[in-house]
Amino acid sequence: MPLVEPANPLSFADESSRHGEHVSRPVSALRISGIKPLYQAPMQTRRIPAKRLSDEARLLKDGRQLASRALRLSTQTPKVKVWVPLLCSFVLTGYYLYTLHKKAAGATEFPQTPPAPSAVVAETAPLPQMSTAQPQSPAATGNTDDNFVEIRKRAEEAHAARQFGDEAKLWQQFMERSPLPQEACPAIGKAYERVGDVDASIQAFEQCVSLEPANADLVVAFAHVLQTKGDFNRAASLYRQALSKDPRNLDAQTGLALIDLKQNHLREADEAATNILHKAPDNTDALLIDGLVAWRQGRLPDAERIFLKGVGLDEHRADFHAFLGRIAEAQRRPQDALRQYERALALDPNDSEIAERRDRLQETKP
C-alpha cells in the first residue's frame, strides 16, 4: 500500500484540472526526494524528540514551503487557474518574510543613553564626602553634661549677686553648649535688659521665641523689651499674639494698656487698667498704669493714693517711689520728694532722670 502523508493545513491541493484530470502534488520535501520520515519507519526503535521551533524559525520555514509549492505549481500546468493561488503564495510569502524581519528588528535591543540628571538635582544633591577626622568626644569639645550644668549654676549665682552682665554672658555660654538651650530663657534676655543692652536683649529673645514659639510668656517678655526700645507697633503685635495663645494672660493685657498710655490714649489705657484690676485687684502693673493716667490728668491726690497702694503691695518697685517723689516735688514737699528719690535710686541706680532730680533738690536744700 502506498504511503499517504497526513494533510498539512498550509498545503494547497488542486483537486482537478479543466479536463477532469486529478492532479495530486507532493506536499512536503520528503515525498519529492522519496525519503521517508523517521517516525514512519516500520522498525523504529528509538524516538527522536522534535525541537521546538521559535516563532521566527517557523515563519521562515512556512515561507520557504509556500514559495517551493508555488514554483512547482507553475511548472506543472500552464492553466490560468493556477496563477491565482500562485499570486497568493507569493503575497503570503512576502508577508511572512516582512513579519519575520520586523519581529527580528524589534527584538534587537540597543543600549540607551541614560538621561541627563535634572539641573535642580545636580545643583542641590549633596556630594558624598569622606572625612578622615576622628569624631571628638563630648569631653574633648567641652560639651559635657557637667560643663553646662556648672555654667547654669554659675549664672544663677551671678543673678543672685545682681551681677547681671556676668549672668548674661554665662547664659549665652549655656545656650551654646546645652542640649536644651531654651532653659536659659527668659533669664538671658532679662539679664541683658538689666544692664541696659537692649539690642542684645532683643536678639536673645528672638532666639528664645524661635525655640519655643508657643510660649506666651516668652512672647510677652520679648514684647516688653521692644516696648522699652520704643517699637510700639511690633510690641503690640506680639502682645496680641500672646493673647491669641492665652486670652487670660494679664501681662499681655497690661502691655497693651501701657502702649496706649505711652501713645497718650488715656481713655483706652484707663479702661484696660480698670478691667485688669477688676480681675486682679493686686496687679501692681495695672495699678501703675492707673496711677499714671491720674497723674497725667492732673488728679495728683488720686495718683498718690494709687502709688501708695502699689508700694504696700510691692515696696521693691522703684517706679512707685519715683512717681511718689515727683508728686511730692510738684506739691512743694522737697523732703518727702528726696526721701522717695533716694529709695528709688537704691532700687534702680541706673535711673539717670531720678538722679538728676535728687541732685537738684539737694543743691536747693537750705
DSSP for 187-250 reads HHHHHHHHTT-HHHHHHHHHHHHHH-TT-HHHHHHHHHHHHHHT-HHHHHHHHHHHHHH-TT-H
CA atoms of 304 and 290, how far apart (whole Å): 11
Indicate the number of domains in the chain.
Answer: 1
* 211: pLDDT strictly greater than 80: yes
Q: Which three cell numbers stand for residue 13?
A: 491541493
Looking at the predicted structure, is the pLDDT value of residue 178 above 70? Answer: yes
| Any domain includes 81 | yes
For residues 336 and 325, give the distance between their C-alpha atoms in angstroms, rounded to a whole number. Answer: 7
C-alpha closest to that of 3 among 27, 22, 20: 27
How high is the pLDDT of residue 205?
Answer: 92
Residue with the bigger pLDDT between 327 and 19: it is 327
| Rounded alpha-carbon distances, angstroms, from residue 175 to 185, 191, 208, 211 | 9, 14, 10, 11
Is 316 inside any structural domain?
no
**pLDDT for the residue 78:** 57
Q: Is 82 inside any structural domain? A: yes
Domain of residue 17 covers: 12-38+54-102
C-alpha cell at 343: 529709695
Query: Does 263 or 59 have the greater pLDDT score?
Result: 263
Chain CA centroid to CA 164, Å: 38
How much is the mean pLDDT over the chain? 75
How far is C-alpha 205 from the chain's CA centre? 23
Residue 72 lies in a domain: yes
- Residue 150 inside a domain? The answer is no
Give me the torsion for CA of 43, 45, 49, 50, rounded to 10°.
-10
- Dihedrals φ, ψ of 266, to 5°? -65, -40
In a domain, 68, yes or no: yes
Is 2 a member of any domain? Answer: no
The answer to whether residue 87 sits within a structural domain is yes
* Cα distance between residue 221 and residue 212, in whole Å: 13
Tell me how far CA of residue 327 lies from CA of 267, 330, 331, 356, in angstroms: 22, 5, 6, 16
- Mean pLDDT, residues 265-291: 94
Alpha helices in 135-197 (DSSP H): 138-141, 145-160, 164-177, 187-194
Dist CA 286 CA 276 (whole Å)? 6
Tens digits of per-residue pLDDT, 88-147? 666 666 666 666 555 555 444 444 444 444 433 333 334 334 334 443 433 334 444 558
Instruction: Please provide the size of the chain in residues.
Output: 366
CB 199 within 8 A of CB 179: no
d(CA 162, CA 154): 12
Grid cell at residue 74: 507553475
List Cβ neighbours of 170 (8 Å cut-off, separation of 6 or more).
151, 152, 154, 155, 158
pLDDT confidence band for 71 (50 / 70 / 90): low
Please answer whether residues 152 and 183 qualify as being in contact, where contact means their C-beta atoms are separated by less than 8 angstroms. Answer: yes
| Confidence tier at 364 by pLDDT (50, 70, 90) | confident
Which pLDDT band, with edges at 50, 70 and 90, does 82 fall under? low
